Structure 1
Amino acid sequence: MSGNATATKIDLHCHTTMSDGELTPAELVLRASVMQVDVLAITDHDSVAGWPAACAAQARVAPRMKLIPGVEISTRWQGFEIHILGWNFDPEHPELTALLARQQACRKERAEAIREKLIKQGIASNDLPVVAGDSAAVLTRLHFAEALERHGYVSDVQQAFDRYLGKGQCAYVAPNWCSIEEAVTAIRAASGSSSIAHPLAYDLSNKWLRKLVIEFKENGGDALEVSMSQQGPAQRQWLTELATDYELLGSVGSDFHKPSRFRELGRNLNLPESVQPVWYDWANMQ
């Protein structure tokens, strides 16, 4: 499997209940098997807590599927929150686990601050997620947005971000994430590969996106997420050009969070032939 993802169905970006996904690691592995995904990486936000359960499920229900260790690390860059994907690393490497522990501590502090701000806005405390200190799952803004929608404070998740949780709104709390360099260095220390996740999701101009890509590569980054499920041909072509221009490898991922007709595991993830896959030299993909 050293070539592109045309013959083999590969999905290197999805989430479980260990971050902001709706399916448990076992349920996600089962769904990936049903969708005939051949290679899967679960990339929860700042967490590898779902890895043991995913491995157990893979051995039980999908023995032919290859399961790759993965993570999605939130970073700060020039006032933007940029997500860095990591794969094929040692999930127990001390440098990586230490970074993820710091990230999760930041997430819990941020979640507590968001919760307090929402309560000050008149949201009932019982209607909001509880920040559990001993929980392995990470709490994200999406959890708060879904709670606001569920209890009728907003009509949908987007309105929750527009009214409360988005940057500049009354319940927004600036995150204290690690730098891109710290994320890439920790992934590399654990013998993994890294990629910028969903490069077009950050509202960056083309000039600033190129600036991001250059700095990512200078810090040892490996790849660009070129192929995503919800993506037009022009977007894929633009990301293909970026990967080619800066000699980066390419990755593919659905960014699956829950079953829906808009985004599905393994769907529409063919990597252009002109881009070398990030997995081209992974021993477990040969």
Structure 2
Amino acid sequence: MTRDPASVPHRGRLTPNRPLGDLTWLRVGGPADWLFQPADEEDLSAFLAALDPAVPVFPMGVGSNLIVRDGGLRAVVIRLGRGFNGIDCAEGQVTAGAAALDAHVARRAADAGLDLTFLRTIPGSIGGAVCMNAGCYGTYMADRLVHVRAVLRDGQVVTLPAADLGLGYRSSALPEGAVITAAVMAAPRGDPAALHARMEDQLARRDATQPTKDRSAGSTFRNPAGYSSTGAADDTHELKAWKVIDDAGLRGFQIGGAQMSPMHPNFLINTGTATAADLEALGEEVRKRVLQNSGISLIWEIRRVGEPAARQTTTR
């Protein structure tokens, strides 16, 4: 085994010192030591098996729920592409590659008369949706997921039942370094026209209440604990994160180029000049002021990874 990823045989694309900002929805972030885009599951398996286990690996989806800090990531970032975006619908189940976009999966399922409409307005890809137990309109991945295929850090290709993934509220317990390559979901049957109509209604409601044209990463904080359960279909959300942020007077609050959206105060947006440090500093200031105002400690929903830039200063 080798610590040098460049010497590991591979068929995909391996890029050193690759900036990650353009791969995230917030458009911030320093470079990864390496970015590996495997050709297929076999290529990924062989690469991880040959790579020294001491080399950190970070699986990355489409960056829809991610802040990469300005100093970047000291790791091999694994990003799945075209070889992992297939979608197949058969016998009440949908099999989707981890790189397939949630919205595409919802539409293809509806074409086949299968109801995965909850995925239509969730940003990101299926691999990320599993990792975060993504959900909307009272349905979560935990309610539909049957099993996933994954490549473990040592290169083993395994099938992991949903029950073994520790799916909770916006969380999972995947093995460290595991890369999901595909997911199988069970879906109730429905009329294709009715399913598409429902999704159009969902899109209209989302666009009327969320800053979909701004650079954001979706919801910044989880709904407060004690008001949201662990992801069951009968979940109730009597208190929303946006409400406690709004009550603290933080709608539109800004640090540097980072702002809590005036349209939806639980959306952290890059107004065009934000650094990752701006975004994270704003989120932490919001957490501090909400705690002071309401006694509620908000938990980040956006993942924050990597290292800060050396001698970085944040404009307040």
Q: TM-score, normalised by structure 1?
A: 0.28
Quick check: which one's strand share is greater? Answer: 2
Higher radius of gyration, 1 or 2: 2
